[in-house]
Structure 1
Amino acid sequence: MRLAFLHTILTCCLLCSGFTGRAGTAAPPDTPYHHLFTAGIGAALIGGLYDGFYSYQALKQHGDFGLGAPDQLDGELLVFEGKAYQTQHTGKTFEVDDEARTSFAMVNFFQPDITLRPGRAMSKAELFRYLDSVLTNVNGMYAIHISGAFRFLKTRAFPPVKKGEHTPLANMLPLQQFFTFNDCRGDLVGYRLPVFMDNTNISGYHFHYLSAAKDAGGHIIDLQAEDIRIEIDTLRSYTIYVPPTADYEHFDFKKNREEDIKSVERGGKN
């Protein structure tokens, strides 16, 4: 009963206040642009709830751009131009079936209001500082698409877990697989979210990669950008879909998982 009430409150009171259209897309006629939809709770994924519960077909009704985790943690998930891609721990990357399910994902219908061409090479730290200089609202929500050439990219993906296994994600860091790419082209799909969204989502910068050939990807660990274009969609509201499952009804959200979130995001505890 309490879970259903929370679901109703989160879904109804955080709805987008403005609706606009965009030519040339297959989005529904009343698509809420500048609105973030999240299926699941970030802290629950970090804490070990990996069972998929929300289909990609349903997810794509809420966005054509985003990222997340596949069912049973089997790699990394990216949504780009209305298609969902999975990168497994083997490195295999493919478009997923609409009937497959995600255990956690955030998406939006991407409509950029800022476009940047830095015109210089940048490390990951330099890129984030550059973005910070533009995105001066520290409590703002931003969807960010970065495309172009990269001197170097390092990504990772986790192996799948057995159904019902709930080992916290930080404890599985030794099992993650890393991939490196040199002189490559592709797309980074990601977000910068504020601190008040920690636990429901993941605050700070979070990017996943998809190669231009759409045959490689993963969660970004490090990069050296060469010649890139940056598009930014300023988000104004968000909705959270709380899974109606027994695991969520009994999950301990009081536990502080801040350090676990940070270590998972950077790919290590140091």
Structure 2
Amino acid sequence: MVLLLVLPAFATAAVNKQDTTFHPDHHHLFTAGVASGLMGGLYDGFYSIDSLKTKGDFGLGAPDKLDGEIMVLNGKFYQTQSSGKTFEMPHSQDLVPFCMVNYFEANTVLHVRKNMSKADFYHYLDSLMPNANGMYAIHIKGTFQYIKTRAFPPVNKQPYPQLAGMLDRQHFFEYKESSGDLIGYRLPVYMDNTNISGYHFHYLSNQKDAGGHIVDLITSDIIVEISLLDSYTIQVPSTPAFNHFDFKKNREEDIKSVERGSAK
């Protein structure tokens, strides 16, 4: 059963000259760091959570030294470590090597009561977002028959290994009949290497005690919210490691293997 509510894609409001209220741009994606750099071992944080909070209230990323996964929901930053421990990040001055955020405002809202595998679920989402070159932020809230997530352990010795070379160090977590939020994006191919094209989701349980990067899932009873994005900016690090990083290497296959959590 699917219930559909479509909201206006672009809403405008009159603002008088005396109005000093902050009006966020709900169609803009901000990214700190470069995805292919993260894949190649740029794990040292350079951009603060405090600064990210001024760019968006929804998103995902990686913590300093690759210590797990980051989820951003309703303006709060959460971290799932490789132990599975999940918590609200306590220090706003903490730095991250990669994180994408936006101010989330749903243009489309649907209630879907159906068991779908990850492949079926992504195919279903594709039917809702026919523009292959569009940028979308996607929030899924509800109950999942099955969820499998992962988190990488922290690195502590340079030179750091490439992320695709750390697949055997991943820690996996499985949950049945779990309720929570999927936080993610579907980005177009032209954003690959700077961001991550295709679908990219992180999970955060309702109790905020479980999470991580989505590896597999089966939906049950969910609400789908889709936000259309139309612009993006990237904040690049000003660090020696970034300045000397070799971006000529094609990391497309590395990105795919890291996203699915396996080499094949």
Question: What TM-score, normalized by structure 2, do the two folds share?
Answer: 0.91
Provide closer, same or farther for how the CA distance between residues 103 and 238 of structure 1 changes in structure 2, counting only shifts above 3 A: same
Identity within the alignment, %: 60
Q: Deviations over 1:86-118 (max 9, x none)?
A: 000000001112111111000000011011122
| C-alpha separation in 2, matches of 1:151 and 1:119 | 11
Deviation of 1:165 after TM superposition, in Å, equals 3.6
Show the 5 A alignment for 1:107-256.
Answer: 107-162=101-156, 164-256=158-250
1:66 maps to: 59
Count of paired positions: 248
Letter in 1 for 2:214: I
Runs of 4+ with deviation above 3 angstroms: 17-21
1:6 maps to: none
1:38 maps to: 31
Provide closer, same or farther for how the CA distance between residues 20 and 130 of structure 1 changes in structure 2, counting only shifts above 3 A: farther
Q: Contact 1:155/1:218 (CA < 8 Å) preserved in 2?
A: yes
| C-alpha separation in 1, matches of 2:11 and 2:53 | 20
Provide closer, same or farther for how the CA distance between residues 129 and 209 of structure 1 changes in structure 2, counting only shifts above 3 A: same
Provide closer, same or farther for how the CA distance between residues 202 and 20 of structure 1 changes in structure 2, counting only shifts above 3 A: farther
SS of the residue 2:194 aligns to: coil
Q: Contact 1:19/1:31 (CA < 8 Å) preserved in 2?
A: no
| C-alpha separation in 2, matches of 1:105 and 1:201 | 10
Deviation of 1:31 after TM superposition, in Å, equals 1.5
Deviation of 1:163 after TM superposition, in Å, equals 5.3
2:3 maps to: none
Letter in 1 for 2:64: D
Letter in 2 for 1:178: F
Deviation of 1:119 after TM superposition, in Å, equals 2.5
| C-alpha separation in 2, matches of 1:171 and 1:59 | 29
- The structure richer in helix per residue is 1
> Which runs of 5 or more residues in structure 1 are unaligned?
1-16, 22-27
2:45 maps to: 52
SS of the residue 1:133 aligns to: helix
Indicate the RMSD between aligned Cα atoms, in angstroms: 1.5
Q: Contact 1:20/1:31 (CA < 8 Å) preserved in 2?
A: no
| C-alpha separation in 2, matches of 1:226 and 1:18 | 32
Deviation of 1:19 after TM superposition, in Å, equals 7.5
Q: Structure 2 residue aligned with 1:100, among 80, 89, 94?
A: 94
Deviation of 1:145 after TM superposition, in Å, equals 0.2
